[in-house]
Amino acid sequence: MANRKPTYLLKLAILGDKQVGKTSLLARFEHDCFNPTYLHTKGGDITEKLIEQEKRSLKVTVIDSAGHKYVRSLIKTLYRDVHGIMLVFDVTNRNTFKALEKWMTEINVVNAGNPYIVVVANKTDLQEHSKVPSEEAAIYAARQDLDYIECSAKTGLNVTAAFDRLLERAAYNTVPAEPISTSIRLSNGGSKNDMATKKPCCGGS
């Protein structure tokens, strides 16, 4: 029988300076794994997945961008019309927090719409090396009218919560497309238990 649920076509981007953990957050969310080795993201990796929720289907395109300046022009064309953005910094590297301002300028220049943005403070498992106090980051986000969440791709803390929020809120920014009949379930699409029962897949902790 045809799937009568509305399908939302969502385009999301994960932005932030290099090595802040963008690819690791996506891997943690998608496969519940963590790879301690830095894997350079070339240009922008694009993942597509279908997430089945009770009341709707989300057809999601996620752009995992490289944070390098020389690919920014490419990224600009990729994330021009995104509905939601995860803007990541590394709590152990203050420069990546300061760079949020630059990223916000680029987003505002490139994106004519009004994408939902969540600021993600990543690597909170390294709290003792933190160079960005929680309050400071939370105040920055609030002033810009952005959501804020503290995560660790390594331990999995809040990663599902951050993506759930991104998916949920980005869906406000789009309208449902035609109902779809195929139903490939690639994700549980909304477990609130961040360290749920998924098995690690890339040899990390």
Ligand X SMILES: Nc1nc2c(ncn2[C@@H]2O[C@H](COP(=O)(O)OP(=O)(O)O)[C@@H](O)[C@H]2O)c(=O)[nH]1
Among 6, 9, 18, 49, binds ligand X (CB under 6 A): 18
- Is residue 4 a contact partner of residue 179, using CB atoms and an 8 Å limit? yes
Q: Which stretch binds Mg ion (CB under 5 A): 18-26, 80-88, 121-129, 160-168?
A: 18-26
* Residue 44 within binding range of ligand X, rule CB under 6 A: no
Task: Give residue 75's identity as a one-letter amino acid code.
Answer: I
Residues 54-93 that bind ligand X (CB under 6 A): 67
Q: Which stretch binds ligand X (CB under 6 A): 98-106, 122-130, 171-179, 189-197?
A: 122-130
Nearest 5 degrees, angle CA 187-CA 120-CA 136? 160
Among 57, 152, 160, 187, binds ligand X (CB under 6 A): 152
Q: Closest distance between ligand X and the C-beta of residue 151, in Å?
A: 7
The C-alpha atoms of residue 76 and residue 188 are separated, in whole angstroms, by: 30
* Residue 111 within binding range of Mg ion, rule CB under 5 A: no
Distances from the Cα of 114 to the Cα of 14, 46, 129, 131, angstroms: 16, 21, 34, 30
* Residue 22 within binding range of ligand X, rule CB under 6 A: yes
- Is residue 41 a contact partner of residue 71, using CB atoms and an 8 Å limit? no
* Residue 39 within binding range of ligand X, rule CB under 6 A: yes
Which pair of structure tokens corresponds to residue 71? 């690919």
- Is residue 149 a contact partner of residue 165, using CB atoms and an 8 Å limit? yes
Helix axes 22-31, 159-170, angle to 10 degrees: 90
* Residue 122 within binding range of Mg ion, rule CB under 5 A: no
Contacts of residue 14, Cβ cutoff 8 Å, sequence gap at least 6: 22, 25, 26, 62, 63, 64, 65, 85, 86, 88
Among 8, 41, 57, 97, binds ligand X (CB under 6 A): 41
Which pair of structure tokens corresponds to residue 23? 């690819």
Among 11, 12, 20, 41, binds Mg ion (CB under 5 A): 41
Among 10, 12, 21, 75, binds ligand X (CB under 6 A): 21
Q: Which stretch binds ligand X (CB under 6 A): 35-43, 46-54, 108-116, 164-172?
A: 35-43
Contacting residues toward ligand X, per CB under 6 A: 18-24, 35-39, 41, 67, 122-123, 125-126, 152-154
Contacting residues toward Mg ion, per CB under 5 A: 22-23, 41
